Amino acid sequence: MPNEIIFLNDSVWYSPLNVISHFKRIEKGLSTSELASKKFRKAREAFEVAIMLVGMRSILRREFWLQLVGDEFESPDIRTGTFTSPTRTRADDFSIQDVEVVEYNDYSQETLIDFLKRTKLSNKKSYDSLTTILCYISRNMHLPPFRDLHDDLLKEGISCPIMVVGKTSPENETYKSAQINPRVDLMAEFDLIKELKDKKYKGVLSLVRGTAPKFDYRPDVKHFPFEKIGLI
């Protein structure tokens, strides 16, 4: 029920391409202090989720959409959605998944699993199957086999979906992603630029229950993915 209420209040969803292109444009124009701001961190979370969705699309061959969630809500960080099947595109067939984002960077001293246990998987937090934990790996490291990560999580009795995404080259926009819980799945290695060039939807999706979805391709579209947090 909470998902449906928020769905009705915010009918605009953005394609990963839309989010990634706006983020890259905004990032170039910000000062050092602005890059450290809460607003930019929220925009970066959306960018990281967009990359995850590009990897999922390369495997599942279906379109995914996302929207930022306002800071007035404690959780989730980002909301994602997709139609339940490629042939069903009614607003009522839109399936929503919440995403909580955490970044494993050069300041993180623990192993990846210990880092997750201290942050999003701590005893102070509890997530169900409708919330995915995305661990975005921004540090330069050799990623352990996905099966080993899954086996370590299995010992902890953790049930919520967990995805990992990391860049595989410092020079190129190439990434690796996978689901490591509750099972190893959706493993992808992809060139972000190539995948985005193959992207069908570039604008926004407007959804109101009981009506047909509206895909907006206008180049002068008035909706921007970060306007909710004051970044345009």
Please name which of 191, 193, 212, 215 lies closest in space to residue 204, comparing C-alpha atoms.
Answer: 215
In whole angstroms, what is the distance from residue 196 CA to residue 144 CA?
27
Q: What is the pLDDT of residues 98-129, one digit of tens each?
A: 999 999 999 988 999 999 999 999 887 888 88
Calculate the average pLDDT of the chain. Answer: 85
Residue 84 has pLDDT above 70, yes or no: yes
The predicted model scores a pTM of: 0.89
Q: What is the pLDDT of residues 131-185, one digit of tens each?
A: 999 999 998 888 889 999 999 999 888 889 999 999 999 889 999 999 999 999 9
Our measurement of the distance from residue 153's CA atom to the centroid of its chain's CA atoms, rounded to an integer in Å, reads 21
Q: For residue 46, which phi and psi values (nearest 5 degrees)?
A: -65, -40
Contact 204, 221 (CB under 8 A): yes
Task: Give the Å distances, CA to CA, from 112 to 55, 103, 106, 108, 228.
Answer: 20, 10, 12, 9, 32
Beta carbons within 8 Å of 8's beta carbon, 6+ residues apart: 208, 209
What's the confidence (pLDDT) of residue 224? Answer: 77
